[in-house]
Structure 1
């Protein structure tokens, strides 16, 4: 946990934003893997962590915006629990650690909510993403659990997003801790990227680093020689010379702050000329985007500029044609880069995605596009000092997508389909870094993971 003053300050600010009603923050519970006593690795709800900091299952936080009081509800461990788990802090002790003077057993919470409902007081809660939380919430407020997502408080969502979007100094320090572990994960993967090695071996090695030196992984490791599949979690291939391995992986700090780095490594440590041509295109999109990122520039504009860099360079290779501005406006480049440039990052790797991407990355002025590719841009708003985001351009040759667009004649004025046949088995390349928006520009976070052709080949030699 951070010092209790951090959580007190955050809750005080939320009280000022909300002003009336009650807010329920239901922490996560253990989720059974195949029977109740064998749960998945516990991960606390990020919003509960943000306001209360308690990394223990089965707790609920309540903020009463009318009285100004905060509560922690939970049940103390009994002797049976202690036999198996050892001595545990009481709910009262946990509440005090978070700077809260009020605590009570969970059964008291239902009474409090029942009285609040009878007085027609607003009950605010965030959209639940776990089925057990939906069920629990439905029971507490006496509503259909299936309606919990649509009944979530928009006012509370917007207030929480406004707070979590701007990272505090202590949060940046946690992200840097996560990135120090991620550096070791990626450099290890690069050194292991040799012909004959099974993807599973590399996956196991770098996931082990995340758990032995940090708080585990921030998301399931993406590692594959089939880099044209954007989120490939299959690790069954044997590395072969002539292929490239895309590794998209990040550790979580002990306090659950994420990191997210992607590197693309040639099997055997040497890029072919063909691979180098595409790699340099993606690297330029990455480095130029990082150079340009600053307060007030929108991520939408940064994304579109990165797309133009990629499209223009592919035109130089003969794979695209026509006016590049028109091609990007039409979305033709999305055949090669069908995702957004990056996303917010913090306690979640896709920060606050559970609250709704349109609340996090869009506004009444900047609406989400429905165009293929651009629709997958998670964050489009202008940057503010304190934002932490990823910059992750890519270039992919997806055989099924190429064939579909070709058969439909889609964007034939901008795509040289006749030149794409030799590229269908190329795979994909993605290069990703994490940045902090500062007052005058940005700072790349973490120890630099090699990303130039020269540095990658030197590390792998």
Structure 2
């Protein structure tokens, strides 16, 4: 938890932006896995934690802008709770720690909202069914009315505040990035032919636990990198395959890291693997070289996929004018996703508000295949923290579909592409902040080049 002044300052800023009405921010509750008391790992709503700081279940924050009052509604632990959990803080003390003296129960909140039902009540979009049901009870509305009634103005207010990371936030994110780096190094230094993917995941998870962190998202560890988000961990690591690791941690303070590496199952890259990997890293380096305040991230994305297309053309997989290749989206056969996303208290920061609000600041997204998956296209500014994550994939079903239907056939050499179809997929991801107009990659130096990666892979086969 940050200082009391941090949370007071954050709430003051959103009051100044919103100007009037009531802001209601819902925290999260626990959810049972197979019965009520056997719960999934609890994750607090990031906006609640951002403004109210409390990381426990069933809390509600209210900011009454017109009367300049702030409240936390929740509950105090009973003696039955304490028997099982040990001594717990009082709600009043938790409120005081973040500069709020007005606290009450769920029923108090219900009465407060009922008494103020004639006023404008702003709440954020809900991504959990239990919170939708709770808001139905609190506001006397149907689930459809709750889903359609969230405040776009509040979403913009929160997004335009949380998107600018303060120095204390950047410190926390960098902690997460450095632990995430350890996760990747552990995988590089231990993965060997004959292991199962889940054994590599176990080694990665050891790093998370050793730092008293949690995962910022479920770890992707797969020799089938052509499946973009592959959470299956049952394959055996075999000679000739690449292992793609996409993972990250969330620190105890609630900030995330997110990085991706891809490396050969063997100690060294094969010539074919190296030819594609070098194109990937050239594209990543090019993206890094043009990052700056004032450029749109859509421009960075398009420049990066252009670099990938140029590299693939040099191998004979793409043909024709590169500008036309990118304009027509032919490159998306190999990279059907966007270059990156915002990073912060959520691994895709504030994505529950929608990509148009957070990633595009109200501008509409492209509908073109590939470009439509770009989560962020807005102008980069100081304080933005985001990922850079180019990829190159050989997806058999997608290749077959495009070949059979003649999609972008004037730009694609399918006969040559099919020579690489067993390569799978690869991507490389780093986390960046814009400071004083310039980019800085967060965290300590990370292996990137073939030589650097092979140096780490040699450690796995040392004994």
Matches within 5 A, 1:7-406: 7-117=7-117, 120-364=118-362, 366-406=363-403
Question: When the two structures are aligned, how many residues end up with a matched partner?
Answer: 458
Give deviations 1:57-87, integer Å, cap 9, x for gaps: 1111100010111100111111100100011
Deviation at 1:444, TM superposition (A): 0.3
Distance in 1 between the 2:248 and 2:428 partners? Answer: 13
SS at match of 2:349: coil
CA contact (8 A) 1:181 1:214 kept: no
Q: Which moved more, 1:314-323 or 1:441-450?
A: 441-450
Corresponding residue for 1:426? 423
Cα distance in structure 1, aligned partners of 2:337 and 2:190: 28
Name the CA distance, whole Å, in 1 between partners of 2:261 and 2:191.
Answer: 12
CA distance in 1, matches of 2:213, 2:16: 33
- SS of the equivalent of 1:33 reads strand
For the residue of structure 2 that corresponds to 1:182, the secondary structure is helix
| SS in structure 2 of the partner of residue 443 of structure 1 | strand
- Report deviation, 1:123: 0.5
Measured after TM superposition, the shift of residue 283 of structure 1 is 0.3
Cα distance, 1:439 vs structure 2:
1.5
Q: 3-state DSSP class of the match of 2:39?
A: coil
1:26 Cα deviation from its structure 2 partner? 1.1
Q: Separation in 1 of the partners of 2:201 and 2:146?
A: 37
Cα distance in 1 between the residues matched to 2:180 and 2:457: 17
1:262–1:432 CA contact under 8 A, matched in 2: yes
Query: 1:269 Cα deviation (Å)?
Result: 1.9
Distance 1:296 1:214 in 2: 38
Structure 2 Cα separation of the partners of residues 299 and 213 of structure 1: 33
Any idea what SS the aligned residue of 1:263 has? strand
- For 2:32 and 2:347, locate their aligned partners in 1 and report how far apart those are by CA, in whole Å: 23
CA distance in 2, matches of 1:213, 1:269: 28
Q: d(CA) in 2 for partners of 1:363 and 1:76?
A: 40
3-state SS of paired residue (1:34): strand
Q: Measure the CA separation in 2 of the matches of 1:174 and 1:115.
A: 40
How many angstroms apart in 2 are the aligned matches of 1:370 and 1:211? 41
Kept in 2, the 8 Å contact 1:186–1:449? The answer is no
Secondary structure of the equivalent of 1:379? coil
> Structure 2 length normalisation: TM-score?
0.98
Q: Which runs of 5+ in 2 are unaligned?
A: 459-463
Contact 1:269 1:456 (8 Å CA) reproduced: no
Aligned equivalents of 2:367, 2:212: Cα separation in 1: 38
**Runs of 4+, deviation exceeding 3 Å:** none
Q: Which runs of 5+ in 1 are unaligned?
A: none
SS of residue matched to 2:243: strand
| Aligned counterparts of 2:80 and 2:437: Cα–Cα separation in 1 | 56
| Partner residue, 2:461 | none
Matched-pair contact (CA < 8 Å) for 1:134–1:146: no
RMSD across aligned positions (CA): 0.9
Shift of 1:402: 0.2
